Amino acid sequence: MKTGNKRLLISLLIIIALITTGAIFWKVGKDEVFYLCSNFSEGVMKSSVARQLDTANLSSYTHSVNESGSTIVFSSKLFFVTNQCVIEFDKSDKVALAGFK
């Protein structure tokens, strides 16, 4: 095999490996948000939600307080995964609503 063909083959293999790795991270990032979000039903305590969200490897969350309680928005740290889980709490720090977007 000629040197030019070897370089082309190696380049193609590297590109395929990078695309595959990116696809795997995209899927894992999306699944992490989706599956954790499905754990949060009405009545679950905020402390339990935070404890579970803290186990995430590829995701993070923000917490904000409002007049009806508070809200956690959980999303992937990966820039190409746009899915998020919005968890709304009542004034007693229990889940009122959790949804995956």
Residue 83 DSSP code = -
pLDDT tens digits, one per residue of 9-68? 999 999 999 999 888 888 888 888 999 999 999 999 999 999 999 999 889 999 999 999
In the predicted structure, residue 4 carries a pLDDT above the cut 70: yes
For 61, half-sphere exposure in the C-beta direction (CA atoms, 13 angstrom radius) is 25
Contacts of 49 (CB under 8 A, 6+ apart): 40, 72, 87, 95
Confidence (pLDDT) at 79: 65
